[in-house]
Amino acid sequence: MNKLFQNPVQILIYFVLITGAVFLGYLTYANLDKGFIFNDEAYYLSYYKNKGESLSFDRTNFFRIFRFLYTPNIYHFRIISITALVLSNFLFCFSVFKYFNLKNNIFILSLLGILIGFESWAINNLIIHQYIGNTILINTGVSLILISLITKKQIIQTLAGFVLSFVLFNGNSHSIIIAPIFAFIILCDLKRWRTNITWFLTGFILGIVIYFTFLDTLDNFIYQFKFLKDYLGFHKKQHSKTFMVLWCVYLFVNAVLPSAIAFFLLWRAKFSESSVTTLDKILAVTGAVTLGLLIFSHSYFIFSFILFTHLLAVRFWTSKTESRENKYLIILILIIPYCLAFGSQTWFHLRLPAYKYYYFLLIFICLIRLYKNVMWMSGYLAALSLMIFAFPDTLHTKGWKDFIFTEQTEKVKVNGYDLYLDKQRKKDIEDLRPYLQNQPNVIYSSNHLIGYLYILDANPPIYYYFPLKDYMYYIIKKAGKTPDDYIYIESNDYPFSPKEFVPLKFVNHPEQYKVVKAGRFTLYLPSQFQKK
């Protein structure tokens, strides 16, 4: 015990990680039965509920891969999902620390993964979807690779390949992560790379065979891509053709270019001690600015955070005491968020908060390996402490969730299980129940309404669609229906766009439709409509 108290910084690290993980875990689990995200969460749950039998344009089959964890009890499913996520974070931390052969108590240090896991998702959209799913798969797969390299037991590479094979199906655009992982396996053990790759590919191929044998069919998988090809024509009307180009440009300017310039200047200076010292000073200033922005301007913090992390990775590569294998792992950790955020139709700096765990892990490793300065670690712990103290604000702010946790006090049955919603949404459900309960053909004005359909067991022709007239014609025809077979619902908050979609102009026989007001909603009911 006396030995511990000889290092107060170490004690402080342990204290922050333990209390932070426990505190954030408590707040998360205590509120998982409250609220419901009526667009994204309902969208993801609909696939589990309907076993993927509805039309889909998405490039993911998360609901097939993780169906063994699914339960219609949303509260329990959220518990399962966030627990699987933070435990995979813990496993990744533990294997990375073991790979770096840290002398500290790596079990306690690995609580960093649990702490950041809870903080990153902030009790928000926690049922397993492609983003959480891929994080679990990548964490588990890379951890197995590291364990194989540590123990020299190459057969573990087979299990790693098996796990990572499902990334191909869980989020197709994210599957580019396989390339840097493949490169890492080769570079980190050049003497045995052929054997390692052989074992890895054996598991990878086995996973693909298992997927198409038990979870999906090859015909359906190919059909998804044919459907996607048609869908992209409509998709371009909603998103710029140049989005991914700009996505890469912004990331290049904010992260890659400054890192390349720093590395080039160090190389020109032959990695002299003075040039490295200059980089240390720049890092100290950048770190201080990043911490200040975290306190005073969170919207700009993420840009400074990205820059700081990348420059720190460059600094790690200048170290003469670190092996090339360690440096390769730092680069892999650095680029994992690139791949997991790729193709998500969201800017990298907006998607990164879901994956900032990797950067916090990278920073922690660099600080304890490169610097023995109390100020560096104090700044890191200050950032963690600020995040911990701010976490309870999640319960009092609406954010993009569109609800406040403290207002979720009304018990509602969803799939036969209790879930707590606010009074307005409970009233909405009862207003809509006579018209939407168990209805098979419903078109809604905004994705914000899909939650009502999910709760009332109503079904649209396709989940998460764009309110474009020609697109809806395309989907309805593909479903073998006509516009007059559908109920149309719009809300006061999210109505149809009058320039694009007017229900009574969209249907063939508007005179056969009845317009009904139900609370905050307007429903257009066809003549064959019958209350369920």
Q: In this structure, are 376 and 228 located in the same domain? A: yes
What pLDDT is stored for residue 171 in this prediction? 75
SS3 of 9-61: HHHHHHHHHHHHHHHHHHHHHHCCCECCCCCHHHHHHHHHHHCCCCECCCCCC
pLDDT confidence of residue 174:
82
Q: How confident is the model at residue 188 (pLDDT cuts 50, 70, 90)?
A: very high
Residue 405 lies in a domain: no
- Binning pLDDT at 50, 70 and 90, where does residue 223 land? confident
For residue 404, being part of any structural domain is answered with no
Range of the domain at 435: 415-525
479 and 330 together in one domain? no
Q: What's the confidence (pLDDT) of residue 4?
A: 46
Q: Which two tokens stand for residue 154?
A: 């190459």
Task: Report if residue 467 sits inside a domain.
Answer: yes
432 and 379 part of one domain:
no
With H, G, I as helix, E, B as strand and everything else as coil, classify residue 524.
strand
Average pLDDT over residues 149-161: 96
Average the pLDDT over each of 115-124, 140-149, 366-375 and give the range with the smallest value.
366-375
Residues 80 and 176 in one domain: yes
Which among 395, 430, 449 is the end of a domain?
395
Position 79 confidence tier, pLDDT thresholds 50, 70, 90:
very high
If asked whether residues 335 and 468 sit together in one domain, one would say no
- Residue range 248-307, pLDDT digits in tens: 888 899 999 999 999 999 999 988 999 999 999 999 999 999 999 999 887 899 999 999
In a shared domain, residues 428 and 364: no
457 and 382, same domain (yes or no): no
Domain contains 410: no
Which of the residue ranges 129-143, 331-345, 353-367 would you say has the lowest mean pLDDT? 331-345
520 three-class SS:
coil
Burial 61-90 (b: 16+ CB within 10 A, else e): bbbbbbeebbeebbbebbbbbbbbbbbbbb
Mean per-residue pLDDT for 309-313?
Answer: 97
What band does 226 get if pLDDT is binned at 50, 70 and 90?
Answer: confident
417-421 and 410-414 beta bridge pairing: antiparallel
Let me know if 353 is exposed, middle or buried by CB neighbors in 10 A (0-12, 13-18, 19+). middle
Q: Whose CA is closest to 513, among 496, 525, 529?
A: 525
- Between CA 435 and CA 126 the distance in angstroms is 30
* Residue at 400 is within a domain: no
Give the whole-angstrom CA distance, residue 63 versus residue 252. Answer: 33
d(CA 228, CA 58) in angstroms, rounded, equals 7
Alpha helices for 51-110 (secondary structure H): 62-65, 74-99, 106-109
* pLDDT for 469 beyond 90: no
**Quick check: is 401 in a domain?**
no
CA distances from 294 to 89, 121, 365, 393, 502 (A): 23, 17, 21, 15, 45
- Between CA 114 and CA 121, with CA 117 as vertex, the angle to 5 degrees is 150
Closest CA to 181 of 332, 76, 317: 332
Q: Confidence class of residue 57 from pLDDT cuts 50, 70 and 90?
A: low
Highest mean pLDDT among 228-237, 396-405, 463-472: 396-405
Q: Are residues 375 and 438 in the same domain?
A: no
User: Taking 60 as the threshold, does the pLDDT of residue 238 lie above it?
Assistant: no
Q: Same structural domain for residues 342 and 420?
A: no
Q: Residue 125 — very low, low, confident or very high, per pLDDT cuts 50/70/90?
A: very high
What's the confidence (pLDDT) of residue 239?
A: 57
Residue 2, pLDDT > 50, answer: no
CA distance 220 to 519: 41
Query: What pLDDT is attached to residue 231?
Result: 73
Tens-place pLDDT, residues 476-524 = 998 899 999 999 999 999 999 888 889 999 999 999 999 999 999 999 9
In the prediction, which pLDDT does 508 show? 95
Cα radius of gyration (the chain): 25
**Contact (Cβ atoms closer than 8 angstroms) between residue 334 and residue 310:** yes
Mean pLDDT value across residues 398-424: 95
Instruction: Report the pLDDT value the prediction gives residue 58, as an integer from 0 to 100.
Output: 66
In Å, what is the CA distance from 206 to each residue of 160, 200, 209, 215, 216?
11, 10, 5, 13, 14
407 domain residue, yes or no = no
Confidence at 395, pLDDT banded by 50, 70, 90? very high
DSSP string, 336-347: HHHHHHTTSSS-
pLDDT at 237 over 70: no
For 381, the token pair is 């712990």
Q: Is the pLDDT of residue 398 over 70?
A: yes
**Tokens encoding 408:** 């979720």
Residue 264 and residue 229 share a domain: yes
How is residue 495 annotated by DSSP? P
Specify if 1 maps to a domain. no
444 strand-pairing partners: 489
pLDDT at 1: 39
Question: Percentage of residues in the chain with pLDDT exceeding 90?
Answer: 76
Q: What is the mean pLDDT of the chain?
A: 91
Number of compact structural domains in the chain: 2
Q: Which H or E run contains 246?
A: helix 243-251
Q: Tell me what the mean pLDDT of segment 119-123 comes to.
A: 96
Predicted structure pTM score: 0.95
pLDDT at residue 6 greater than cutoff 70 = no
Same structural domain, 493 and 431: yes
pLDDT for res 246? 82
Indicate the DSSP class of residue 230.
Answer: H
CA-CA-CA-CA dihedral for 430, 433, 435, 436, to nearest 10? 130
Do 322 and 435 fall into the same domain?
A: no
Tokens of 434: 């006579």
